Amino acid sequence: MEKRKLKIRDLTLRDGQQSLFATRMPQAEIDKLLPLYENAGFYIMEVWGGAVPDSVMRYLDESPWDRLRIISKAMNGKSLLSALSRGRNLFGYVPYPNSVLEGFYKEAIANGLNVMRIFDALNDIDNVRDSIKMINELGGIADGAVCYTVDPKDDDQRSFFAKLFGSKPKKIFTDEYFVDKAKQMEALGAKIITLKDMAGLVNPTKAASIISALKANVSVPVDFHTHCTPGYGLASSLMAILNGVDILDTNIWYFGGGSAAPALELIYVFCQKLGIEVEANMEAVGKIREQLVEVRRSLAAFDLHKDKFPRDFNPLAPDALPANIDALFDKAIAAAKAGNEAELLDYCHQIEDYFGFPKPNELVRNAEVPGGMYSNMVAQLKQLQASDLLDDAMRLIPKVRRDAGLIPLVTPTSQIVGSQAVSLALDRKKGKPDYSTPSMQFTSLVKGEYGHTPVAIDPAFREKITGSPEEVAYDTTKYKTPENPVLPELGGVKLATNKEEELLLELLPAVATGFLRKRRTEEYNVAQQAAAEAEAARIAAEEAAKEPEEPITGEVLQAPMGGTIISVNVKPGDKVNTGDILLVYEAMKMENEVEAEHPAVIKRVFVEPGQVVGLEANLIEFEE
């Protein structure tokens, strides 16, 4: 019987560094790793999308397109390269028309991208429909990602008897919900289906049920993407493996765990014990791991877990695991097979603790929100000098979600809901009615401009927030292409000089404007410097080519005042008599004739018509 194989999507160069180091990994560090990655044997490498286009321009002064091209060239087609996009929103925050979508996908594929993982924050199939179609038509691989989320915790404020005899709120985010979304994406042409758990909220039990349901209902490969923030990541990944997942998203050791996806090396140990072949060259992975130690140290200023640096671990080394830690892997597998979630989590947490990975974030787990959303709310309240309202704001998240159609919490909806929960807490503190200060984004969301919500929004609530009970979708025909101005101060060039740069302006206008202006300024300065150097070289060459100037030995006629030569009436060898006109020049708007003061022979003439001369400039030399 052929050994079962598990394909790996490596997230190290994109989601790993974004989750742990705020996407601050410069191209120079990536370049050091690429020769090692070429032979690592990963099925897919996620290298682009997400925060990369914004961050590399904003913080690193680098071109996103250059990053994609460099990685593609280095990999020589040995691993598929993938990016993450928000469907109709791409990397921005507004729905773009198809012309922008197609232009972007076309350029991305032409520059080496193979797989586009497409998701929508609302799981609205209409928002990913065109992207899936375009990616396939352009020769890429459409990866349809279903965003995992949970029903809000019960905040039922009905009376005691209503709670006792009434029905409980209907569960929306069931296994059937995710399977239905996956089947719709497959029908549209998705070649991979990903369960995208951006907040790490898929617990082992749910991982088992959803992955097995997906495997039973779709015919394309199933991928599982999760994070370790609340403490489920490693255990849920093991459950996904046991229930037939085809592709697993992981990071290499020093870029794994914590708020990132699980470390590949731990997954490898589990698979070795299960008799499953991990499709990766672990020797090559080991060489990358050795380099990542120094890369992570170079990113210390942005390291979210700098106090929890994982201990060195080589899973290929003999006796790599102490007996007691090796036994924990066996116990975790046994607990997973028995469906004992509590024991499975305990064993996985012991494994992670031994290796020095961060402990589960209890706040994130209890609040059931993405870690980034929580930290944004903390920062927002601190800025408003209202940190004491954090607990109130967190408790209001379920209400805001329900009022807004029970939306999943993923970029950008997580930021919209978090900010609105903060505003709601402030409204209540000030004695104002709820939603006295709805944000523009929340208003757009309730209006319908982000798409269809999982549950229909109450028309009365929509009217309260937007002024109309009617749902209004975003009209892409009203989209206005950002201005691409001419820069007269930089030689009259346009801000964006090619299609790639025009797309950056469309997707991230504010960041791209600053980035591209700097590029044009650098190019202008280089051109100016080159022109100056070329002119200096030309003058030097002309001077070098001239005959050495003969010294003046005879009588010299000098200019009595500064002016412009109008005409010269003599040439070398001419004999002149007293009173002959030698030349005419203009000074102080008057023409002046210069006459010979005595008979002489012209030896040299130093000026020519049109030449400007100064006071006492040499005009003519006479023979001795």
Give tens-digit pLDDT for 572-606: 999 999 999 999 998 877 888 899 999 999 999 99
pLDDT of residue 371 exceeding 80: no
pLDDT of residue 163 exceeding 70: no
Measured CA to CA in angstroms, residue 290 lies from 131, 269, 270, 284, 375 at distances of: 38, 18, 22, 10, 31
**113 in Cβ contact with 48 (< 8 Å):** yes
Going along 169-265, which residue ranges are E strands?
Answer: 192-196, 222-225, 247-250
Tokens 């090559």 label which residue? 284
In this prediction, residue 338 carries a pLDDT of 97
> What does DSSP assign to residue 384?
T
Measured CA to CA in angstroms, residue 180 lies from 93, 149, 305 at distances of: 26, 15, 37
Q: Can you name the residues that pair with 594 across neighbouring β-strands?
A: 583
In this prediction, residue 166 carries a pLDDT of 52
Q: What is the value of pTM for the model shown?
A: 0.83
Q: Can you name the residues that pair with 587 across neighbouring β-strands?
A: 590
Question: Which tens digits make up the pLDDT trace of 542-559?
Answer: 777 766 678 888 999 998
Query: Which tokens sit at 508?
Result: 């991230």
Radius of gyration of the chain from Cα atoms?
A: 36
pLDDT of residue 493 exceeding 90: yes
**152 in Cβ contact with 367 (< 8 Å):** no
pLDDT of residue 457 exceeding 70: yes
Strands 600-605 and 575-576: antiparallel
Tokens 């208003």 label which residue? 443
Kindly compute the dihedral angle of the four CA atoms of residues 414, 420, 424, 426, in this order, to the nearest 10 degrees: 110
Q: What domains sit in the chain, N to C, each tagged with a CATH number?
A: 5-155+170-364 (3.20.20.70), 370-472 (1.10.472.90), 480-527 (no CATH), 556-622 (2.40.50.100)
The span from the first CA to the last CA of the chain, in angstroms, equals 113
> What does DSSP assign to residue 251?
B
Confidence band of 412 (pLDDT split at 50, 70, 90): confident
In this prediction, residue 286 carries a pLDDT of 97
CA distance 430 to 417: 20
